Amino acid sequence: MQKKLIIISLIAFSFVFVQCTKKDKKEELKPQTKIEKLLANYADVKLETDLSALSENQKKMIPLLFVAAQLIDELYWAQICALRDETKESITDEKVMKYFNINYGPWDRLNGMEPFVDGVNERFDGANFYPDNMSYQEFDEFSNLGKYNSYTLIRRNELGSLQTIPYHQAYKEKLDKIAELMNKAANFSEDKGFEKYLKSRANALLTDNYYESNIAWMQMKDNLIDFVVGPIEDLDDRLYYTKTSYQSMILIKNKQSSKDLEKYSLLLPYLQKNLPVDVKYKTEMPGELSDIMVYDVINCSGYWNTGSKKIAITLPLDGQVQLKVGSRKLQFKNVMEAKFEKILRPISEVLIEEDQLKHVKSKAFFENTMFYEVGSALGIKNTINGKGTVQNALKDQYNVIGECKNDILSLFFVTKLYEMGEMNGGDLMDNYVTYMTDVFRSVRFGISNDQGVANMIRFYYFEELGAFTRDKKSEKYRIDFDKMKEAMLKFSEEILVIQGNGDYEAAKNLVNEKGFIRDDLLNDLYKIQKQRIPKDVVFIQGLDVVGLEN
């Protein structure tokens, strides 16, 4: 009798469990409204870290930097969305408002800047850097050379003619407050290098002269806290790709992880010399202060807080600074781990053959990302045939080709270091399969994102050379190690030659031939979307999140 009761109980439990599971699954996959689908593209991630290693003075710095970061955020809104207040007043749906704030405006950054707020026009390519009624001819005929400066706004004077206004004048009130906060924070710094940098950067914000503060930033090595701030990236200016946006990050250094990577910094000149291309394309050497460091992000504002979030970055972007003192490759450990678990691993389960899933690893993702940033600092910045900088020669194709170079060289560097015995504790196949999986993650950003286009080019390049195969029945991918290595070497050489020659036509042809999504890949991306795997993350951040009082 007792056995019978146990069996009946187990059956009943199983029935309830199955019903609950079905119910949960049904609720999880219930139909979504348009705005719910858009919000599902982002997974919430708390910007947390361990602050126990910080002194009391260091902890006093952080609230000051948080306030400065909030002011940077307000400057960014002014640059990117002129009608912010009017648009917000027209929004009555809380979910639309949430998506508005994620995108810093009514245009969807993960969907080609398509408007998602009723009654809003397409985004003006010049954002709020230029008058929206300015013609190309009018700009070309405007004789003030300051129009090309990365830190000037183009406005109309009282007569309706164009004029330039430096950022430090246009945004003086807020910049004065930011500089004051940074100087106060500097007074709490126990690291002289960080104190010098903060004061130098505060002055740079008030003058738009960033060279000295970039040098000071590269010179500091032992600081636990970092505040990367300023008008840095120019990707919001889709008119002339010249004007820079304000952004900031507050970072806490992972000292042990950074120390573990020191040996790779020393190998940067060797990696440059061994690029898979003719010697004339690799004569530029990284500066002696180049390094690689690992951080947790605890606050992100302005451009860096929009759309697709950074998992790593190489700074300074100023090529002259890089040639003189080098660059720093910043790896954002907490953001990287979140994207791997919430996005990359789920994608691999949908698209990678089961017997190769064991090769999708967070360690490989970290290594690939780290050497993507190394790729951005190495290579070539000036053409070899008198066409000037690579950026000027490749014009509107520069960013996509640059992303191609960074992406493909990351695989080259990892391969080289494994072959040299400088990387261990893993399997190079892990890096190859994880690399391929990451292509699917980045391709999802589409043609409105330079990295998305670069990944499409890389995908079809690999496909043509047999680096992977797609099983028609399972609709999953299998990576061929030898063919991927061969394709990597060939593509690395082709991209470096395009850059070194400043070959605009070759760059344009590559983008036109391979920089779009074809049917099979589109179907694969639809499979990912059906599983409701997010495309990116949105940060939950604040002093309370990191355990400090407001």
The H or E element containing residue 392 is: helix 390-394
Say what the pLDDT of residue 23 is.
41
- Structural domain contains residue 441: yes
- Structural domain contains residue 20: no
333-358 mean pLDDT: 96
- Give the rounded percent of residues in the chain with a pLDDT score beyond 70: 93
Write the DSSP string, 326-379.
--EEEEEHHHHHHHIIIIIHHHHHHHB-GGGGGG--HHHHHHHHHHHHHHHHSS
Task: Compute and round to an integer the Cα radius of gyration of the chain.
Answer: 25
CB burial of 265-298 (b: ≥16 within 10 Å; e: otherwise) equals bebbeebbeebbbeeebbeeebbebbbbbbbbbb
pLDDT grade for 28, boundaries at 50, 70 and 90 = low
Residues 422 and 468 both lie in one domain: yes
Residue at 253: amino acid letter: K
pLDDT grade for 29, boundaries at 50, 70 and 90 = low
Say what the pLDDT of residue 26 is.
38
Residues 501 and 548 both lie in one domain: no
Residues 233 and 379 both lie in one domain: no
Q: At which residue do the structure tokens 């003006």 appear?
A: 124
pLDDT digits (tens, 9 = 90+) for 500-537: 999 999 999 999 999 988 888 889 989 998 999 999 99
pLDDT digits (tens, 9 = 90+) for 177-234: 999 999 999 999 999 999 999 999 999 999 999 999 999 999 999 999 999 999 999 9
Distance CA 396, CA 237 (A): 12
Give 19 or 91, the one with higher predicted confidence: 91
Distance CA 272, CA 199 (A): 34
443-456 mean pLDDT: 80
Q: Is a pLDDT exceeding 60 seen at residue 27?
A: no
Q: Is a pLDDT exceeding 70 seen at residue 109?
A: yes
Residues 168 and 232 both lie in one domain: yes
Q: Is a pLDDT exceeding 70 seen at residue 19?
A: no
Residues 387 and 468 both lie in one domain: yes
Counts of helices then strands in the chain (DSSP H, E)? 24, 13
Residues 318 and 356 both lie in one domain: no
Q: Is a pLDDT exceeding 50 seen at residue 4?
A: no
Say what the pLDDT of residue 132 is.
94
Distance CA 385, CA 212 (A): 30
Handedness of CA 390, 395, 397, 398 (dihedral sign): positive
- Structural domain contains residue 485: yes
Distance CA 461, CA 237 (A): 29
3-state secondary structure string across 109-159? CCCCCEECCCCCCCCCCCCCCCCCCCCHHHHHHCCCHHHHCCCEEEEECCC
- Structural domain contains residue 5: no
Residues 486 and 360 both lie in one domain: yes
Spatial CA neighbour of 196 closest among 221, 176, 232, 231? 221
248-269 mean pLDDT: 88
Say what the pLDDT of residue 258 is.
87
Cβ(405)–Cβ(379) below 8 Å: yes
Q: Is a pLDDT exceeding 70 seen at residue 80?
A: yes
Residues 333 and 362 both lie in one domain: no
CATH code assigned at 169: 3.30.540.30
Kind of pairing between the strands at 312-315 and 328-332? antiparallel
Residues 308 and 404 both lie in one domain: no
pLDDT digits (tens, 9 = 90+) for 364-397: 999 998 888 777 778 888 999 999 999 999 999 9
For the chain, the domain total comes to 2
How many angstroms separate the Cα of 366 from the Cα of each of 333, 337, 381, 536? 8, 8, 26, 17
Residues 239 and 388 both lie in one domain: no
Q: How far is CA 52 from the centre of its chain?
A: 28
Distance CA 461, CA 492 (A): 11
- Structural domain contains residue 94: yes
- Structural domain contains residue 13: no
Q: Is a pLDDT exceeding 80 seen at residue 446?
A: no
Residues 117 and 63 both lie in one domain: yes
Residues 338 and 356 both lie in one domain: no
Range of the domain at 168: 38-253+284-342+538-550
- Bridge partners of 487? none
Helix (H, G, I), strand (E, B) or coil at 77: helix
